[in-house]
Amino acid sequence: MEFLSGNFLIETIVPKDELIVSRTDLKGIITYANETFAKISGYNSDELIGKSHNIVRHPDMPKFIFKNMWSDLHTKGRWSGIVKNLRKDEGFYWVYAEVSQVFRNDKLVEYKSIRSPISFQDKKNYQLLYDELRERNNEVKRIISYK
């Protein structure tokens, strides 16, 4: 990923009283995005719908976390964790995400995710943890360091 602007340093804060909601098909293609998701990610809802959910994947996220998410979704039907996401303008936002299955007439048809804000301390801890996980797996390095 190439950063052409300075926005990669700019965090968008998820308001305490709002939830970011999306649904995907079974392959992770976005089928629904609420207003808050659009606002916080910097996209319009119609730019999000039909795209893979990795449209908001941030390069700071270790690959392992999403492998784990998909494997838990398949085996346990749910996953929760802390995610740093990428905005359209290359800024970022942190969330606590709960991902789960959606059934219609007893048939698994979609996945949904509901996300809420996390504390500053959690952001610091998870940034360092994810930096370490990427380093351990020889993944992309972060350009700036908070250490």
Please report, for residues 1, 2, 53, 79, the alpha-carbon distance to residue 5 in angstroms, rounded to integers and kept in the order given.
12, 9, 23, 33
Contacts of ligand FMN in 41-80 (CB under 6 A): 53-54, 56-57, 61, 66, 69
Q: With binding defined as CB under 6 A, does residue 112 bind ligand FMN?
A: yes
> Could you identify the residue written with the tokens 């500053």?
120
DSSP calls for 107-140: EEEEEEEEEE---HHHHHHHHHHHHHHHHHTT-P
CB nearer to ligand FMN: give 52 or 147. 52
Quick one: DSSP state of residue 60?
T
Shortest distance (Å) from residue 7 CB to ligand FMN: 17
CB nearer to ligand FMN: give 7 or 21. 21
Q: With binding defined as CB under 6 A, does residue 87 bind ligand FMN?
A: no
Token pair, residue 127, equals 């940034």
CB nearer to ligand FMN: give 130 or 147. 130
Please report, for residues 11, 30, 86, the alpha-carbon distance to residue 46 in angstroms, rounded to integers and kept in the order given.
23, 10, 17
Q: With binding defined as CB under 6 A, does residue 82 bind ligand FMN?
A: no
Q: With binding defined as CB under 6 A, does residue 111 bind ligand FMN?
A: yes
Q: With binding defined as CB under 6 A, does residue 28 bind ligand FMN?
A: yes
Pick from 33, 60, 113, 117 the residue near ligand FMN by CB under 6 A: 113
Q: With binding defined as CB under 6 A, does residue 24 bind ligand FMN?
A: yes
3-state secondary structure (DSSP) of residue 34: coil
In degrees and rounded to multiples of 5, residue 114 shows phi and psi of -125, 130
Q: Which residues form the interface with ligand FMN (CB under 6 A)?
A: 22, 24, 28, 53-54, 56-57, 61, 66, 69, 83, 85, 97, 99, 111-113
